[in-house]
Structure 1
Amino acid sequence: MMQDETSDAITELHALLDRARSVVAFTGAGISTESGVPDFRTPGSPWMTNKPIPFEAFLASREARIEAWRRKFAMDDHYRDAAPNRGHAALARLVEEGRSPGLITQNIDGLHQASGVPEERVVELHGNGTYATCLACGWRHELAAIRPAFEASGEPPACMMCAGPVKSATISFGQAMPQAQMRQAHALTMEAELFLVVGSSLVVFPAATFPVIAKRKGARLVIVNREPTELDAIADLVVRAEIGAALGPLAG
């Protein structure tokens, strides 16, 4: 987009948001890159050298679990100081003002909650990387306790309750999608008068089906992303701009 076209699109975006009674945001990695959190697809991304271990491999081998935790903490170090940015703050403001019933995210960084969105208003389709859970009993484990023990012993963590394998609370490749969160996301999508995609390439399924569902049931579909997406053709508005610049005025 040319600069004037981008400015016009941002103006139209805010006009649509002002008129909408129920805005549901769907966020991807792009909203957090402005906070210093690397995405998967940018050339040179540290994810390329610390790729997540597939779920079946994690379950099958002690060595894979050790490597998974090594890569997990290496990635945590890349964005340990990340904080919510203007995009996060803008969406938090929509929730706070009662203009949004909640948001759906593909991100695992917890920055929406850190921006002030209540935990129960954030639907995390791909889990959360700020803590861990036991795959056997579901007990929550804090990373602050896991990391020093792992680095001292070199052994993958085991559950203090049942001795089961402990894994970062993210959804790994090959792991089943969380059904409760998928139901919550569908319910939010059906509530939306305006469905706002922010910083998602919309290539990861089944998560990327929600914008289509929203459009089919009559919601306005708006996509804010620096790069084209496969759903641009069905969107009511596409804004090719930095997310902070596009949404920042909402943050107040």
Structure 2
Amino acid sequence: MSSKKHLVILSGAGISAESGIKTFRDSGGLWECHEVMEVASPEGWQRNQELVQNFYNQRRKQLLECEPNQAHLILAEMEKDYKISIITQNVDDLHERAGSSTVIHLHGELKKAQSSVDPNLVYELDHWEIKEGDTCEKGSQLRPHIVWFGEQVPMMDVAIGIVATADILVVIGTSLQVYPAAGLVNYVPTSSRIFLIDPVNPAVGLGKKVFYISENATSGIKTLEKMLKTEI
């Protein structure tokens, strides 16, 4: 049995931002000039499927031009010393491309598609565009494999089980304002420590003893790594 400490990473948009991926919360509620509910809700999909498909097609195309940044790479490298489980709110694949071996996506994955009638039918995409007329095996139009506002988060129970085994929880680049993901901190064992890496401490009460590292993702993870190495 491994004696490595279990570090659970809860990552958000702040870590991907350093790779050039924009976030809607930093744009006054607009995501690439769209009201978020236009492109991230079942109602938006019903109103204008073409708009929604095009939006995610462009996000997918943009992702092809982005690379993992140093924060992603350091987390992957830390697997030499720790058992690392990453629970991410991000829909990109930058953690995987950096080499992290255990990544749970709470809000879906940009490089996958799903049936518009059966969310259990999920398909890997080897191209950036989902077109009208691209269908699943049941004949329904494919849609982005994204958990939109108002939809269930299918990986939530898995994430809760992982957090419940954490020796250390590290929250990186998330405002802790999107639920149910933000509620994961409530499942950390009472004996475990929580580190929060963000240049702006979120205005939320975690109700636990939290060590704040008020830096961006890359520099904050470097600071965390130095702190933890003194304990190995």
Coarse TM-score class (shorter-chain normalised):
0.7 to 0.9
Q: Is the 8 A contact 1:104 1:185 kept in 2?
A: yes
**1:97 corresponds to which of 47, 57, 80:** 80
Deviates more, 1:132-141 or 1:105-114: 132-141
**Aligned CA-pair RMSD:** 2.5
Identity of aligned residues (%): 22
TM-score relative to the length of structure 2: 0.83
Quick check: 1:173 aligned with 2:149?
A: yes
Quick check: 1:228 aligned with 2:196?
A: no
Residue matched to 1:54: 41
Q: Is the 8 A contact 2:185 2:206 kept in 1?
A: no
Residue matched to 2:127: 144
**1:126 corresponds to which of 102, 107, 114:** 107
- Normalized per residue, the structure richer in strand is 2
Deviations 1:92-135 (A, max 9, x none): 122x32512411110001111111112xx111110101121113
Structure 2 unaligned regions, length at least 5: 227-232
Quick check: 1:80 aligned with 2:80?
A: no
Residue matched to 1:207: 181
Deviations 1:176-209 (A, max 9, x none): 111xx21221111011111000111100001001
SS in 1 for 2:181: coil
Number of equivalences: 216
Distance 1:167 1:235 in 2: 41
- CA shift, 1:232, in A, is 6.0
What residue identity is the alignment partner of 1:166? L
TM-score relative to the length of structure 1: 0.76
Q: Is the 8 A contact 2:116 2:143 kept in 1?
A: yes
SS in 2 for 1:217: coil
**2:190 corresponds to which of 217, 235, 248:** 217
Structure 1 unaligned regions, length at least 5: 1-19, 151-155
- CA shift, 1:171, in A, is 0.5
The structure having more radius of gyration, on CA atoms, is 1
Q: Is the 8 A contact 1:37 1:79 kept in 2?
A: yes
SS in 2 for 1:107: coil
- Normalized per residue, the structure richer in helix is 1
